[in-house]
Amino acid sequence: MLQVHTCFRSETGGRSRNEDACGYWQSGPAACWVLSDGAGGHGSGDLAARLVVQTALQAFQEQPEASGPQALALLQQAQQAVRREKTSGATRDDMHATAALLLLDRERGQGVFAHVGDSRLYQFRQGRILRQTRDHSLVQQLVDAGYWDAAQIRSHPQRNLLTSAIGAADPLEISVSPQAFEVLAGDVFLLCSDGWWEWVNEAGMESTLACQPSRQPVGRDWLDAMATRILQAASDRHDNYSALCVACSDDRTLLALQTGQFF
């Protein structure tokens, strides 16, 4: 059975509050990680993000299964929770959130993902990006249509305009991996908000990963190395930046994954 090592980093950046949230839960061989970036006035952004994470993890606890239909159902339930909250008060009309979610079956060595908005999930193998999610954003649509180069996503003035977000009117667009994919010992997953990936490009992710010692699981040191790049490149008013790292191993000497944690 795959062993997993989880670590995270979530910072306020240049904002007055942190509207990112993340957490995970493990039950037997099945495990779930979720990260969300909230937005909205009167402090409703952090509430939206926390609702997404808490709802998804609670639903996973009730049915710990790593499958595409389950990944879809978890984010659909998060959508319902945020939509209910929006109707509870006039100050929450504009609350919404992104989500990136990873499910692993550690016994079978398989994974699935789902996402909404521009929070991303990356899978690395042998230090290289094997797969990543595609943003639900106006700029991503322009790139897909051939109007912009993918390298310009991080600098486009309209890069924060989303085409799908949890809390928006139904039907919600949720992207789910088309089928379960193979997960091997040595694979690393990164779930991150746009405040993270906007300042650390894919080459930077790979280069900092390559510098990590091979004798121990990838984790906090890698996140710290990327966070240093963010601090060096970003302005004083930059967005919250958060990331979850999930490192897979066959090393049975690792401490067992905690049942769950919410950040």
**pLDDT (tens digit, 0 to 9) for every residue of the chain, 263 residues total?**
999 999 999 998 888 889 999 999 998 899 999 999 998 766 688 899 999 999 999 999 999 999 999 999 999 999 999 999 988 866 677 899 999 999 999 999 999 999 999 999 999 999 999 999 999 999 999 999 998 888 888 888 888 899 999 999 889 999 999 999 999 999 999 999 999 999 999 999 999 999 988 766 788 899 999 999 999 988 777 889 999 999 999 866 554 445 666 66
Domain membership of residue 229 (yes or no) is: yes
Judge whether 150 lies within some domain: no
Residue 73 to residues 60, 108, 182, 230, Cα–Cα distance (Å):
9, 21, 21, 34
Peptide bond before 171: cis, by omega within 30 degrees of 0? yes
Q: How far apart are CA 75 and CA 70, in angstroms?
A: 9
Residue 115: inside a domain, yes or no? yes
Q: With respect to residue 64, please indicate whether it lies within any of the assigned structural domains.
A: yes
**Cα–Cα nearest to 51, from 255, 258, 262:** 262
Is residue 15 a part of any domain in this protein?
A: yes
The confidence score (pLDDT) of residue 53 equals 98
How many domains are contained in the chain? 1
Q: Which domain holds residue 178?
A: 3-133+165-262
Q: Considering the domain boundaries, does residue 141 fall inside one?
A: no
1-11: buried (b, 16+ CB within 10 Å) or exposed (e) per residue? ebbbbbbbbbb
User: For the domain that residue 232 is a member of, what is the CATH number?
Assistant: 3.60.40.10
Whether residue 121 is contained in a domain is answered as: yes
In a domain? residue 146: no
- pLDDT value of position 16: 80
Distance CA 222, CA 136 (A): 27
Q: Within a 10 A sphere around the Cβ of 89, how many other Cβ atoms?
A: 11
- What span, in angstroms and rounded, lies between the C-alpha atoms of 67 and 76? 14
